[in-house]
Structure 1
Amino acid sequence: MGGSLMVFLKDKENNKTAKVFKTENSEVIRLTKQDTAIFKVKPEYQVIKEVGCRLH
């Protein structure tokens, strides 16, 4: 399901129906209640789209 989930999220992001939070090194998409029903996850769950790592 991973591939289809990412395509689904990309479409959501493009349509501005999902909330996308960007931080310094990662991007998080918060699913809507409708999305969580589709994927059978809890509404408070977030999907981390990509995470970059920097060593100091």
Structure 2
Amino acid sequence: MLRGFVNYFKVANISQILKPLTGWIRRRLSAIQLKLWKKVLKLHRILKLRGFKPPF
């Protein structure tokens, strides 16, 4: 999404900046989602479904 926005408006080649920015955005969205899963059992069930292995 960010790369498309940059290419659409013909901003300079900033791929070195977009990679860390994209990673930061993904981490923030993950943190917000974890806050929404307030119950521990729900969090464990979802993490198992996504392929993570205990202990969490």
Per the normalisation by structure 2, the TM-score is: 0.29
The structure with the larger Rg is 2
Q: Identify the structure with the greater helix proportion.
A: 2
Q: Identify the structure with the greater strand proportion.
A: 1
Per the normalisation by structure 1, the TM-score is: 0.29
